[in-house]
Amino acid sequence: MPLHDWSRVSDTAFHHFHVFWLTHLSDVLTKELLPRGYYALVEPVAGEAVPDVLTLQASHGARGPSGQLPSLVRDDTAEGAVTLLSPAAVVQDLDPDYSQLARHILVRSEVEGDRVVAAVDLVSRGNKRSRTKATQFVDKTIGYLREGVHLVVLDPHAPSNIVPQGFHALVCESLGHEPPRSPPGRDRQIASYQIRDSGHPRALVEHLSVGDALPDIPLFLAPRYYVRLPLERTYEEAFGSVPERFRAVLTT
């Protein structure tokens, strides 16, 4: 199923889809993809800037899993899950610049006291309309990364005057890096942020356009272990829950 232009329907219609897509992703993670001792929940965002749950867990430290994770894919490549991405994808190390030091899915580890190890965030149009909201979203993303939480950000919306190159560009700028240029006509983004053994993030970015099929994207649970997030399949399932009147607008 191709990626749709959600600007053609109301925010309410997208919010409905938003909830169902996250629910389907969470369901697949818990039932099929996550190894024993891990689980995923769709949880409310506890404050836009830095999720309270991450602040509360800071005392646990950002350590990786203590045992083998046989049901995960191990990543031993130098470039980090590059084989999962298309040839046009961007891989970018985001080492820190020390001068500038809704709802989402949280994946938790039971063996580490229910510590959050990974998250999936889905951008809403409202995040791109307000400078304050955009800043809060970026701050929240940086908050995940600083707490050692692996992250996937799904951004299916067109650029705005406030977010002209997508949220990944703003994350890069916040970390003191030059953002990659989007290929012409490919102005939607999916970004997977891997926390490496060094503790610094690496971004794996897919640039998409309306009409593209969604790729499976790696969701890391540890620096060298990830699951393949089935975006196309779960997107299609969630789209089926959207009322017909809106689906008709989006598909014509």
Please determine, for residue 69, whether its predicted confidence score (pLDDT) is greater than 70: no
Burial of 161 (0-12, 13-18, 19+ CB in 10 A): exposed
Please give the share of the chain, as a percent, with pLDDT higher than 70: 81
- pLDDT tens digits, one per residue of 21-66: 999 999 999 999 999 999 999 988 755 544 554 544 544 443 444 4
Average pLDDT of the residues in 83-95: 70
Q: 131-146 and 167-174 are packed helices; what angle lies between their axes, rounded to 10 degrees? A: 60
How, if at all, do strands 115-122 and 150-155 pair? parallel
Average pLDDT of the residues in 195-221: 95
Q: What pLDDT does 67 receive?
A: 46
For residue 120, what are its two tokens?
A: 């999936």
Average pLDDT of the residues in 114-142: 93
Q: What pLDDT does 159 receive?
A: 94
Q: Which among 48, 17, 10 has a CA at the least distance from the CA of 130?
A: 48
Q: Tell me how far apart the alpha carbons of residues 215 and 81 are, in angstroms, rounded to a whole number.
A: 13
Please give the share of the chain, as a percent, with pLDDT higher than 90: 68
Please determine, for residue 123, whether its predicted confidence score (pLDDT) is greater than 60: yes
Q: 231-239 and 11-28 are packed helices; what angle lies between their axes, rounded to 10 degrees? A: 130
